[in-house]
Amino acid sequence: MISDDTILNAASGLRDYTADNLAQMIRIPSLSGEEGPVIGAIEEMARSAGFDEVRVDGLGNLIARVGHGPRVLAIDAHIDTVDTGDLSQWDHDPFSGLIQDGHVYGRGSVDQEGGAASMITAGRILTEAGYDGEWSVYFTFTVMEEDCDGLCWNYLIEQEKLIPEFAVITEPTNLGLYRGHRGRMEIDVAFSGLSAHGSAPERGDNAIYHCSRAALGIEALNDRLAPDPFLGKGSVVVSRFRSSAPSLCAVADGADLHIDRRLTWGETKEVALGEVREIVSGLPSPPGGNAGKPAVSLTMYDKAGYTGTSYPQESYFPTWKIEEDHPLVKAGAATCTSLFKEEPKIDKWTFSTNGVAICGKHGIPTIGFGPGNEIYAHAPNERTPIDHLEKAAAFYALLPYILEEQL
């Protein structure tokens, strides 16, 4: 087995290389569905680093492999980002890729091209070390996660038949070791009303009022949700309220809510939909006909990626966790202890990741270890410490050896 010092020295020697690769990624805007140019840049990096196989699948995910072993380990980073938001809140150009004061700055540095840059370095370390162990290590640079987390991995598993024994998510963990997070789903609730002139509202049935009562019911539901000892409490919030009317001098004949529902352990889409249906069914009955009768539905995602391929799915992203004594968690902890001489903080993400598909839907044991602090995800002045990039690269490079030794 390769020594810890050898990997640490290699990661340290490639410190600037890792930061420069991340800066290059940041300089290429890569919103969901528009990742082609950054995938092209990462493909060039992977080929230059000497990966044994580099290819792009039909959805646009980049797959880079090191090793030829019979067992499959996947290490994943999504390389799409959210938009910048209000530019006045940024101290620097979000796409500058500025390297300063021990950090790399810019949109995607934390969420989550930092993980991708460390993966490139880890692959180079393994390649230059001549890794020939029992694992085929697949580094996946995946697309469209910000729009529809897990879709990319549903495609990899269901269409590409890339089915790893274990997986590592490189979303930001502040160099902690994560073993799960809440799931989520997106629900629409639509009300129809009856329009009338605004001067005589009693002649109509205002869909806004029905929708508002439903929104207040959703607010009350959030307070009733029960916690899980590890993942914490589920949550529900109305994230959009829209209405329609023939004019601004008319009673609204339509209104709808969009609901963001976070699911803790034991909460399923059936449970969550049932809760919302119970709320709307308990509202006062509208006068006459179908006016005001609500429709509750799970949304669908059906957007084509940059390759032109779409892979429709429900906007339901299952909760997942693995136990703290799981062999993969133990191997991840041993990797941290061996490299950094201290035990990692074992925790969970607040937000959602591709783990909803890998572990939540497909049951593949998954852990998380990534550079950067998640508080900077989707925030202005996003930045990642170069020290984190270096340590993450060492972790990804050593983990296959630790797995081989322990399992």
pLDDT at residue 1, as a whole number? 80
Q: What's the CATH code, domain 4-181+319-406?
A: 3.40.630.10
pLDDT at residue 49, as a whole number? 98
The active-site residue out of 43, 57, 145, 267 is 145
The active-site residue out of 43, 80, 146, 267 is 80
Residue 63 buriedness (CB in 10 A; 0-12 / 13-18 / 19+): buried
Question: Which residue(s) pair with 244 in the sheet?
Answer: 254
Is the pLDDT reported for residue 152 higher than 70?
yes
pLDDT tens digits for 322-375?
A: 999 999 999 999 999 999 999 999 999 999 999 999 999 999 999 999 999 999
Percent of the chain with pLDDT over 70: 98
pLDDT band at residue 293, thresholds of 50, 70 and 90? Answer: confident
Mean pLDDT of the chain: 96
pLDDT at residue 316, as a whole number? 97
Is the pLDDT reported for residue 406 higher than 80?
yes
Q: End-to-end CA distance of the chain: give it in Å, rounded.
A: 14
Tokens standing for 238? 């109305």
pLDDT at residue 345, as a whole number? 97
pLDDT tens digits for 254-291?
A: 999 999 999 999 999 999 999 999 999 988 776 555 55
Q: Do domains 4-181+319-406 and 183-301 have the same CATH topology?
A: no
Tell which residue, 150, 115, 142, 116, has the closest CA to residue 59: 142
Omega cis (within 30) before 24: no
70-75 average pLDDT score: 98
Torsion of CA 81, 84, 89, 95, to 10 degrees: 80
CATH topology of domain 183-301: Alpha-Beta Plaits (3.30.70)
372-389 average pLDDT score: 97
Where is pLDDT greater, at 121 or 286? 121
Per the annotation, the verdict on 325 as an active-site residue is no
| Domain boundaries of the chain, sorted by first residue | 4-181+319-406, 183-301
pLDDT at residue 52, as a whole number? 98
pLDDT at residue 84, as a whole number? 97
pLDDT at residue 144, as a whole number? 98
Tell which residue, 259, 121, 255, 244, has the closest CA to residue 184: 259
Per the annotation, the verdict on 128 as an active-site residue is no
pLDDT at residue 127, as a whole number? 98
Q: Helices 36-49 & 113-128, crossing angle to 10 degrees?
A: 20
pLDDT tens digits for 182-226?
A: 999 999 999 999 999 999 999 999 999 999 999 999 999 999 999
311-319 average pLDDT score: 97
pLDDT at residue 356, as a whole number? 98
384-399 average pLDDT score: 98
